[in-house]
Amino acid sequence: MALHTLNQPPGNTQCLERCLNALSDGDALLLIEDGVLATLPAHASRFDAIAANVSLFALQADLDARGLNVLKDARFTVVDDGGFVDLACEQDKVVSWY
Partner 1 sequence: MSDKKKVLIINRRAPYGRSNARDSLDVALTCGVFEMPISLLFADDGVFQLLGGHQAKDIGQKNLSANLAALPMYDIDQLFVCESSLNTHGLASDQLDHNPTVVDHNAIQQLIQSHDVVLTF
Partner 2 sequence: MKFSIIVQAAPYSCQSAETAYRFAKTLLDTGHDLHRVFFYGDGVHTGSAFASPPQDEPNIPANWQALAADHDLDLVVCIAAAVRRGVLDDTEAGRYSKSGSNLAAGFELSGLGQLADAIAQSDRVITFGA
Footprint on this chain of partner 1 (rule: CB under 8 A): 1-2, 14-15, 18, 21-24, 92-98
16's contact among partner 1, partner 2, none, with CB below 5 to 8 A by partner kind, is none
Nearest distance from C-beta of residue 9 to partner 1, angstroms = 16
Query: Which of partner 2, partner 1, none does residue 21 bind to, with CB < 5 to 8 Å depending on kind?
Result: partner 1
Report the alpha-carbon distance of residue 19 to residue 39 in Å, rounded: 15
* Residue from 23, 25, 20 nearest 10 by CA: 20
**Closer residue to partner 2, CB minimum distance, 13 or 96:** 96
Write down the least CB distance from residue 2 to partner 1, Å: 6
| Maximum separation of any 2 CA atoms in the chain, in Å | 32
Q: What is the DSSP secondary-structure string of 43-81?
A: GGGGGTTS-TT-EEEEEHHHHHHTT-TTTS-TTSEEE-H
CB of 64 to partner 1, least distance (A): 26
